[in-house]
Amino acid sequence: MTSMKKFLLLFVGVLFVGSSIIAQDGKKAYKKANRLLGTYNLDPSANMDKLEEAKDLIGSALEDPEVEAMGKAWIVKGKIYNELVSNEMNQKLLNPEYVVKNVGYAQEAYTALKKALEVSEKKFEIKEALNQLKLTAGHISNEAITAFQDKDYNAAFKNFRSSIALDEILVAQGEESTFIDEANKKEQYFYTAISGFYAKEYEEVEPFFLKAKEMGDADPFIYEGLYNIKKETDMDAARAILEEGRAKYPDDTALLYAEINYMVAEGLLEELIVKLEDAVKKDPENISVYTTLGAVYDNLASQSLKDSTAAEGKAQMYFDKSQEWFEKALNLDESNFDALYSLGALYYNKAATFTDPLNELANDFSAEGNKKYDALKAKMDNLFDTAFPYFKKAEAINPEDMNTLLAIKEIYARKGDVEKSNEYKARLEALNTGGQ
């Protein structure tokens, strides 16, 4: 039993000595990193290797819990990473073609100095951490702008929001804001919102949109982006934002299109026409507005045919307007697939409405019945014939569009051209099976 106690004491002693060695090694690594940083500062151009070694050492040192609790160790890390970023920025200034290697180091400096403020109690350490944070602010901003220009929106969002958080830390500590004025601060929130939106960090970025809007004179994109975020969870709030944006910026095309898309989704077709015609005036070269107007009138024509209370001739009036807008689209671009297919479908669907009346007349063998049947069938055939060339032109542009091929197959079948109809049937089957 005594020998067992001695063994346990010895074992505990080994553990204690081992942890002491780790602690000593952590402190040694911190001190050496600090010395190497000092050596680097004496002659930066000749001692770049010393800075790299200091970076590795401070990383190892901070793995020691005792060193991790030392504010000065985190300050040293912040200084090292600030210097690494500054060195690369200088190289970039001297050579615009220089490719930055240490992307994310400004974030490392920011995280380290923020930690220093959390654990430091000594005033001089807090002051030193704040001074270093002021340097980091410029680096973070540069990384944000570079990432945004490179369309790396995730990195841009991370850095822009860190820039705002860093500024809040400085102001809370009684330091001056890193933003030169309110306009500069507003711009920061704007780019934070944009980058977060394009990074698809919708939940994270919403507060920045709201803040940008709250700051006044918000860019139209703030309303557009906030509408697109809100519509996924709260359509009433989204609609209110869109209405506010449209009232503030009635000539903004993006907000107009957002309103158009909303109306399409809600089926507000009559109201939508006014918006679309307004869009044509503002953006007369945008074919999609013309084809959308054509589709809206086509939809209204279909609704009128089903509505027994609709005024006589209303469906035809809507049909004519639909035809007019699709033709205007083709005047802008005669090879526009959507306009070609839509115009073909307009005539095809109109022809299809004669099917039921023809079936009824087929049972009327009177002379008058035959006369009506022939007249109605002639109208139907004429509409199918009118639709056909539009579908063929659409097919030439997109030979694998299923709806186009199906329409052509059906028209050939109605013409009695079984061979051609079967040819298109085979093409449809091949597309359905992936060409197998």
- pTM here is 0.67
**Cα dihedral 408, 413, 416, 418 in deg (nearest 10):** 100
CA neighbours closer than 13 Å in the CB half-sphere of residue 364: 14
395 and 404 Cβ atoms separated by less than 8 Å = yes
Tens-digit pLDDT string for the chain (436 aa): 444 444 344 444 444 433 443 445 889 999 999 999 999 999 998 999 999 999 999 999 999 999 999 999 999 999 999 999 999 888 888 888 888 888 899 999 999 999 999 999 899 999 999 999 999 999 999 999 989 998 999 999 999 999 999 999 999 999 999 999 999 999 999 999 999 999 999 999 999 999 999 998 889 999 999 999 999 899 999 999 999 998 898 878 788 878 878 887 887 888 888 888 888 998 999 998 999 899 888 888 888 877 766 677 888 999 999 999 999 999 999 999 999 999 999 999 999 888 888 888 878 778 887 888 889 889 999 999 999 999 999 999 999 999 999 999 999 999 999 999 999 999 999 887 765 4
C-alpha–C-alpha distance, residues 176 and 212, integer Å: 21
Alpha carbons 259 and 252: distance in angstroms, whole number: 11
pLDDT at 434: 67
Sequence-ordered list of residues with C-beta below 8 angstroms from that of 178, at least 6 positions apart, any chain? 134, 137, 141, 163, 166, 167, 170
3-state helix, strand, coil in the chain (%, to 5): 80, 0, 20
* CA 388 to each of CA 18, 177, 326, 384: distance values in angstroms, whole numbers, following the listed order: 87, 68, 16, 6
Backbone angles phi, psi at 41, to 5 degrees: -65, -25
pLDDT at position 19 = 40
Phi, psi of 165 (to 5 degrees): -65, -40
Instruction: For residue 39, give Cα distances in angstroms to 44, 57, 355.
Output: 8, 14, 92
Distance CA 44, CA 1 (A): 63
Q: Minimal CA–CA distance to 319: which of 347, 339, 338?
A: 347
